[in-house]
Amino acid sequence: MERKRVFSGIQPTGDSLHLGNYLGAMVGMLDLQEQHECIFSVVDYHAITVPYETERLSQRVLNVALDYLAAGIDPQKSVLMVQSDVHEHVELSWILGCLITVNKLSHLPTYKDKVARYGVAGLGLLSYPVLMAADILLYEAELVPVGQDQLPHIEFAREVARAFNRRFEPVFPEPQAHLMPGAVVPSLLGQGAMSKSVPGSYIALTDEPAVIGKKLAGAVTDPARQRLRDSGEPTRCNVYTLHELYTLPQQLSEIAAGCRGATIGCLECKAVLAEEISEGLAPIRERRRALAADPNYMRDVLRDGAQRARSMAEATMFKVKQAMGLLTA
Contact 44, 84 (CB under 8 A): yes
Q: Which of the four pLDDT bands, split at 50, 70 and 90, describes residue 70?
A: very high
Q: Which of the four pLDDT bands, split at 50, 70 and 90, describes residue 329?
A: low
- Its pTM stands at 0.89
Q: Which of the four pLDDT bands, split at 50, 70 and 90, describes residue 45?
A: very high
3-state secondary structure of 235: helix
| Residue 294 CA, distance from chain mean position | 25
Closest among 6, 3, 35, 40 to 21, alpha carbons compared: 40
* pLDDT surpassing 80 at residue 228: no
| pLDDT: which is higher, 266 or 118 | 266
Question: In this predicted structure, what is the pLDDT of residue 222?
Answer: 84
* pLDDT surpassing 80 at residue 282: yes
* pLDDT surpassing 70 at residue 254: yes
Q: Which of the four pLDDT bands, split at 50, 70 and 90, describes residue 114?
A: confident
- Measured CA to CA, the distance from residue 124 to residue 46 in angstroms comes to 8
Please, where are the H alpha helices in 138-265?
Answer: 151-167, 209-217, 238-246, 249-260
Average pLDDT, the chain: 91
Question: In this predicted structure, what is the pLDDT of residue 319?
Answer: 97
| pLDDT: which is higher, 15 or 326 | 326
Q: What is the pLDDT of residues 162-186, one digit of tens each?
A: 999 999 999 999 999 998 877 678 9
Q: What is the pLDDT of residues 75-105, one digit of tens each?
A: 999 999 999 999 999 999 999 999 999 988 8
* pLDDT surpassing 70 at residue 309: yes
3-state secondary structure of 146: strand
In order of their start, the domains of the chain are: 5-185+294-324 (3.40.50.620), 209-288 (1.10.240.10)
Question: In this predicted structure, what is the pLDDT of residue 106?
Answer: 83
Contact 219, 187 (CB under 8 A): no
When pLDDT is averaged across residues 308-325 and rounded to a whole number, the result is: 97
- Measured CA to CA, the distance from residue 209 to residue 274 in angstroms comes to 7
